[in-house]
Amino acid sequence: MINSKKHENHTLNTEEDIEIKEIIKKEIERQKSQIILIASENFTSREVIRTMGSPLTNKYAEGYPGQRYYAGCENVDEAEQLAMDRANKLFGSEYCNVQPHSGVSANLAVFLGVLNCGDKILSMNLRDGGHLSHGHKQNLSGRYYDVHTYTVNPETEMLDYENIQKIAREVRPKLIIAGASSYSRIIDFDRFREIADEVSAFFMADTAHIAGLMVSGYHPTSIGVADFTTATTHKTLRGPRGGLIFADKKYADLIDRSVFPGVQGGPLMHVIAAKAVAFKEALQDSFKDYSRRIIENSKALCEYMKNDGFRIVSGGTDNHLFLIDLTSKNLTGSEAVDALTSVGIIVNKNVIPFDKLRPTIASGIRIGTPAVTTQGMGEEEMYKIGELISSTLKNRNNNTILKEIAKKVRNLAGDFPVYTKD
């Protein structure tokens, strides 16, 4: 006879998965012992992690609160409504969609909403700081739309609005995209709006990287300026991995339909609830202070590297990241990443404006401070990290020195513990 009780309880009483548990343990150890300077990463709170690991993951909820294709959605409806209300309050928006699984999904939903195949997009060149989903030839955006790009000014390595306007007049795009994944300067959304209006284009601001800084008032907002603002929740916003879309109320139906059933099926209700948790955290005054410290740390580390003889793309930073051009050091981004990883400093290789090397090698590295700032590090630690980076790159063939640096990295990371109870 089948033991129905045991069978029913299978999902609640399943044996521990030792292999995965071990992998998670090792990853926690890695995050605790290394210095994480990936500009798009952060340490989210325990409450966000707990919520993502909740049974809300079991629920299918295609549709929107009050209008679902499944029964039993009363609790997840509340979670999604709370997430939307908090997101609107945080961003100062009148409409948002919290269902996109990622920033790319959010961008694709906007494209589906306003573009037809073959329509023209004007976006920032990937090499100069743009993003794959803004028209890379192998991304869906580059395959289905006619993509034109703008670059930064070769002298200043900053956005050149006159030139963007000139290209927009020539191209007459249907959509202009502002936003980047490796641009360290303030983006003038008002200027983009003027350009878009002049050529009757839609204007989308992809604020994936800067969303946390923007809601804290440390970057001008795109809400009420751009037709569509997309964002991710896991970078400077410090929430779970995911995407968001904001727009005027008049676009609400269009965007809702574009997200579901346009580019997605069932929303991830555990992640949406975790987004709500992160928005509540970001609504606290302490989050503004956190955003300010991210930028202070970024500027401090950037200045250290500059004073130590490294060339900084555009000469500095206004936000959470900056790019180091390693060309004059006779070093590629890829080689620098290998050396830094060997001592426990985690950065990513990155192309720099007008880079002659391909992205898999790259002439630069991108450095960001959201994660170390969450750990509680300040300017003093940024100088220490600068010294460790510099010394690693200068002594990359000296194993004795690298071993000493690795020890200092572990000690510094250990002084600012994350997830201490694990």
Task: Give the span between the Cα atoms of 339 and 332, in whole angstroms.
Answer: 11
**Is 377 in contact with 409 (CB distance < 8 Å)?**
no
Q: Is the CB of 233 or the CB of 391 nearer to ligand DSN?
A: 233
Least CB distance from residue 131 to ligand DSN, whole Å? 6
What mask of x and - would describe binding to ligand DSN in positions 134 to 173, judged by CB under 6 A?
Answer: ----------------------------------------
**Is 248 in contact with 227 (CB distance < 8 Å)?**
yes
Q: Within positions 84 to 103, which residues make up the interface with ligand DSN, using CB under 6 A?
A: none
Least CB distance from residue 319 to ligand DSN, whole Å? 12
Using CB under 6 A, pick the residue from 181, 332, 373, 374 that binds ligand DSN. Answer: 181
Task: Give the span between the Cα atoms of 207 and 333, in whole angstroms.
Answer: 25
Q: Using CB atoms within 10 Å of the CB of residue 343, give its burial: 0 to 12 exposed, 13 to 18 middle, 19+ buried.
A: buried
What mask of x and - would describe binding to ligand DSN in positions 18 to 57, judged by CB under 6 A?
Answer: ----------------------x-----------------
Task: Give the span between the Cα atoms of 67 and 37, in whole angstroms.
Answer: 42
In this structure, how many other beta carbons lie within 10 angstroms of the beta carbon of residue 159?
A: 24
Structure tokens belonging to residue 198: 């002049």
Q: Is the CB of 97 or the CB of 133 nearer to ligand DSN?
A: 133
Q: Within positions 310 to 369, which residues make up the interface with ligand DSN, using CB under 6 A?
A: none
**Is 184 in contact with 321 (CB distance < 8 Å)?**
yes
Half-sphere exposure of 325 (CA within 13 A, CB side): 16
Q: Is the CB of 40 or the CB of 375 nearer to ligand DSN?
A: 40
Positions annotated as catalytic residues are 60, 62, 206, 232, 235, 241
Task: Give the span between the Cα atoms of 259 and 406, in whole angstroms.
Answer: 45
Residue 210 DSSP SS3: coil
What mask of x and - would describe binding to ligand DSN in positions 271 to 310, judged by CB under 6 A?
Answer: ----------------------------------------
**Residues touching ligand DSN, count (CB under 6 A):** 3
Structure tokens belonging to residue 10: 């299978």
Least CB distance from residue 304 to ligand DSN, whole Å? 23
What mask of x and - would describe binding to ligand DSN in positions 367 to 406, judged by CB under 6 A?
Answer: ----------------------------------------
Q: Is the CB of 130 or the CB of 173 nearer to ligand DSN?
A: 130
Q: Which residues pair with 244 in a beta bridge?
A: 231
Instruction: Please report, as ranges, the residues that interact with ligand DSN according to CB under 6 A.
Output: 40, 131, 181
